[in-house]
Amino acid sequence: MCSVIAQRVFGSPARDWAAQKDLRFCCCLEPVLVLIRWLHAGRRLEETVPLELARHRRNELEAQGATIYWSERLVSTGLS
């Protein structure tokens, strides 16, 4: 289905669209981190985890009874 949409919208083969889409995630030299904030037992807590582990950590926290109220990707500005 996505290949059909890519061909209609961009007029290019789906394989070219997939290659462009994948390149968006390959250009970063620094790992992408995710900030997760949650409420558990009346305490507000936060943790920064790598993007690859963020979904697993979020599910883990929710299984423990935490309420996730914020999550965002932290992107390096390159000014350091």
- Residue boundaries of the structural domains of the chain: 1-27, 31-80
Instruction: Give residue-wise pLDDT tens across range 8-38.
Output: 445 555 555 454 554 455 555 678 999 999 9
H/E run at residue 54: helix 51-63
Would the CA dihedral through 44, 37, 57, 59 be positive or negative? positive
Say if CB 38 and CB 60 are below 8 A apart: no
Q: Enter the tokens of residue 50.
A: 């790598």
> Which pTM value belongs to this model?
0.60
Say if CB 49 and CB 36 are below 8 A apart: yes
Say if CB 47 and CB 57 are below 8 A apart: yes
